[in-house]
Amino acid sequence: MTENRIIQCAECKGYFDVLEEGLQRIELAKEKGWGMMLFNCPKCGEQTSWHRLKEMYSDTTLLNLEKVNKPIVEIDNTLLPKGYFDFLLNNKNAKIRVSKNRDEFNLFTAEELFTTISVDKKEYLIVYKLQGFLKTLLEVGVELKEKEVLLLENSLSIGDENGDVLFIDKREENSKLYIFYPDGGDIENTKLTLNSVME
């Protein structure tokens, strides 16, 4: 085993071993100058970010430490459009396919949306987690257009798929569905809207 391949999960605070494929992704990110990428923590199942300033460890005894469970905060049913909030309450484990070339996105439940996570040592609700990623991207020098910054500042995360985040713009009445790619900080504007989720 090579040294410095253990990462601390920002969600449960547990430690996990990054497999060879993950190490190759990190090396590629360094070569490409990407600011960050996401990993799924095998201990809690949540996503946690790696970026070039994040410390990696070699002490394997860290892998046996117990994870710390994070509390669920009170749900704010006024934050999301009412129709969508009602949809979530009646559709557990909902999914949506945004294109024929992608796997389905898993939609966050109402409880998950209002669970706190840690993004680079700062607490965010999952629904607001892209604000945390935005802050990190800017800190590590990723250049974003002004409209991209405004979009991420007004984003509400509603789902994910293999590390990519599905989100809406809270300024839009029937928001388009956008995809945020953490590996490079790119944003895709899909052809679907929030109403497409509830059809």
Residue 49 banded pLDDT, cuts 50, 70, 90 = confident
Smallest CA-to-CA distance from 130 within 167, 82, 170, 102 is with 167
Smallest CA-to-CA distance from 89 within 122, 69, 114 is with 114
Residue 53 banded pLDDT, cuts 50, 70, 90 = low
* Portion of the chain with pLDDT greater than 70, in percent: 92
Q: Is 60 exceeded by the pLDDT of residue 19?
A: yes
Which residues, 6+ apart, have CB-to-CB distance to 50 below 8 Å? 7, 26, 29, 36, 37, 38, 39
Residue 9 φ then ψ, to 5°: -70, 130
**Residues 57 and 111 both lie in one domain:** no
Full domain range(s) for residue 156? 82-198
- Judge whether 98 lies within some domain: yes
8 A C-beta contact, residue 68 and residue 13: yes
Q: Is 80 exceeded by the pLDDT of residue 64?
A: no
Which of 4-8, 49-53, 166-170 is predicted with the least confidence, judged by mean pLDDT?
Answer: 49-53
Q: What is the dihedral of CA 14, 29, 108, 198, to 10 degrees?
A: -170
Distances (CA, A) of 107 to 6, 20, 55, 178: 29, 29, 31, 13
Smallest CA-to-CA distance from 65 within 18, 1, 12, 117 is with 12
- Judge whether 70 lies within some domain: no
> What pTM value is reported for the model?
0.65
Domain count, the chain: 2
Question: What pLDDT was estimated at residue 72?
Answer: 45
Q: Is 50 exceeded by the pLDDT of residue 67?
A: no
Q: What is the pLDDT of residues 125-158, one digit of tens each?
A: 899 999 988 988 888 888 889 999 999 999 999 9
Of 37, 64, 91, the one marking the end of a domain is 64
Question: What pLDDT was estimated at residue 66?
Answer: 57
- Judge whether 74 lies within some domain: no
Question: What pLDDT was estimated at residue 148?
Answer: 93
**Residues 129 and 170 both lie in one domain:** yes
8 A C-beta contact, residue 141 and residue 35: yes
**Residues 42 and 117 both lie in one domain:** no
- Judge whether 77 lies within some domain: no
**Residues 138 and 194 both lie in one domain:** yes
- Judge whether 75 lies within some domain: no
Question: What pLDDT was estimated at residue 153?
Answer: 95
